[in-house]
Amino acid sequence: QEHLVESGGGVVRPGRSLTLSCAASGFTFGAYGMHWVRQAPGQGLEWVAVISYDESNKYYADSVKGRFTISRDNSKNTLNLQMNNLRAEDTGVYFCARETLVGARDFDSWGQGTLVTVSS
């Protein structure tokens, strides 16, 4: 059974940095594209970033482009999100999610999320 566990959330001041991690288990991590999706408090879901199975392709939402960097370590079954120059509007729960299969355009497995609060 696939399992995703996010970590690294916390309270951070505007302009500072934070790195989130997602530990994967129960499936062949290196065979799947992976995403980050976030949810501001009381709000809807927002797609953030995607990384291909082999790290060759990375794409970002306009709202985070140039500030966030997605990466992965297939040897450690870990997905990361480096977040720089954080803003108040980056506050929310960050979920990692797995693409259903190579070439799929949906997400069949999600972690429980980690909360990031950007506040002075």
Which residues lie near another protein (CB under 8 A)?
A: 35, 37, 44-47, 50, 57, 59, 61-62, 95, 97, 100, 104-108, 110-113
CB of 42 to another protein, least distance (A): 10
Residue 50 or 83: the one with the smaller Cβ distance to another protein is 50
CB of 99 to another protein, least distance (A): 10
Residue 13 or 105: the one with the smaller Cβ distance to another protein is 105
The C-alpha angle with vertex 116 and arms to 111 and 117, in degrees rounded to 5, equals 155
The C-alpha angle with vertex 115 and arms to 90 and 46, in degrees rounded to 5, equals 50
| Alpha carbon separation from 52 to 28, 66, 74, 111 (Å, rounded) | 14, 18, 11, 18
